[in-house]
Chains A and B, each alone.
Chain A
Amino acid sequence: MKKTDLRSLIFMALCCDLGLFAKKLISPAANFITEFLHIPGGIATSFSLMFLVIAAALMPFPLCATVMGVVQSLLALCFGMTGSMGALAPIGYILPGIVIDLVFFLAEKLSGRRENGILIASVLASVTACLTANFIVFNLRGIVLFVYTIVAATSGSVCGLLGEKLVERLHPVIGLRQAQEKISYRNKETS
């Protein structure tokens, strides 16, 4: 965390807020699909988690998504946006964060590039969030649980695809390396 500059922290905070409020924004459209499928959700959360994935992909330091998940859960508790999970809502925010960090850690170890883990991180984080909600609130079983999980995975993959594109676009301007380059450039200028 020592290497994190102010710009990165602001970007992370922005992604936390976007993740939290984007869920509300997309909910009417997502509910239209989930009501048709007779499942209790799974789409809006994937869109919300996309911002965590984007931030974690661009900020190459450990536990980025987990820290953001903690911040999101605190914000959700403060704003009363806990949904049907109530006081247990932090679990639903923190667990996907841990999964995202784990996937990026493995992607970096195995392929040397965090960007390779975006889609998988998005899919697994969505599935984790949906299974957590099922464990805490819904208690679905059988085919309904399968459909709920597969819808979450699919929406996670679509958001992952979108996330890959956004990371590609944001990479030249946001990220640790760019921030350091910018600082050293300014140092050169002033010295």
Chain B
Amino acid sequence: MKKNSIIIVIVLLFITCIASIFYLRSRNDAPEGNLAVVSGDKTVLIDPFGSSLVPVKGVTINAKGQEKDVDETGISLKDAVLKSGLGGSEFTKVRVVSSDEYAAEISSDEINEEGRAYLAKQQEDDGSISARLYVFGDSDSKRQVKNVVRIEILNE
């Protein structure tokens, strides 16, 4: 192996380690079972499944065009935003973010539409509870977000 190649790999590994430490330390994750709802500078923690749950029923379509029936429990995204108390003012959309920073944007019209966007309660393999976003009526499942940790209320 060339010496230069090994040096490049070591330098990149070093930069990755430094950047990862800096990034992981700067993350402000919500405690387990909670969701962080962010609007501007304000952050509110909510327990999405603390109160009564509603049925989450619908059909999702994946990238291959296959349909899947969903029959779970959870809360509507609208209720999650209202629960935080930050959705009172005008907002145009929300950004639902997972633990790996994958995000989906849902417009305020879609949020207000009955039976459209839900956060379903999911049990993980390790026994922990997580939230999964379902947006029914989409032509693919791109806006299905697993392990939701943050909801950002945007006005753009």
Contacts and interface: CB of A to CB of B under 8 A. Distances in A.
Contacts of B24: 37-38
B39 to A, nearest CB: 18
A40 B145 CA distance: 12
Interface residues of B, number: 26
Interface stretch (A7-15, A98-106, A157-165, A179-187): A157-165
Contact of B12 (A83, A137, A153, A165): A153
Nearest to B13: A154
A173 interface: no
Given A38-B27, A138-B103, A119 B140 contact: no
A84 B101 contact: no
A165 to B, nearest CB: 6
Q: Could you tell me the dominant secondary structure of chain A's interface residues?
A: helix
Q: Could you tell me the dominant secondary structure of chain B's interface residues?
A: helix
Given A37-B24, A84-B142, A143-B26, A161 B100 contact: no
A151 B16 contact: yes
User: For A35, A144, A154, A157, which residue has the most chain B Cβ atoms within 10 angstroms?
Assistant: A154
B1 A137 contact: no
Nearest to B4: A119
Contacts of A38: 23-24, 27, 99-101
Contacts of B42: none
User: For B22, B63, B99, which residue has the most chain A Cβ atoms within 10 angstroms?
Assistant: B63
A27 interface: no
Contacts of A150: 12, 15-16, 19
Interface in A34-91: 34-35, 37-40, 80, 82-84, 86
Nearest to B12: A154
B19 A147 contact: yes
Contacts of A137: 102, 142
A157 B9 contact: yes
A40 B63 contact: no
- Which 10 pairs from chain A and chain B are nearest by CB? A80-B64, A154-B12, A157-B9, A154-B16, A147-B23, A40-B100, A119-B5, A144-B101, A40-B102, A86-B63
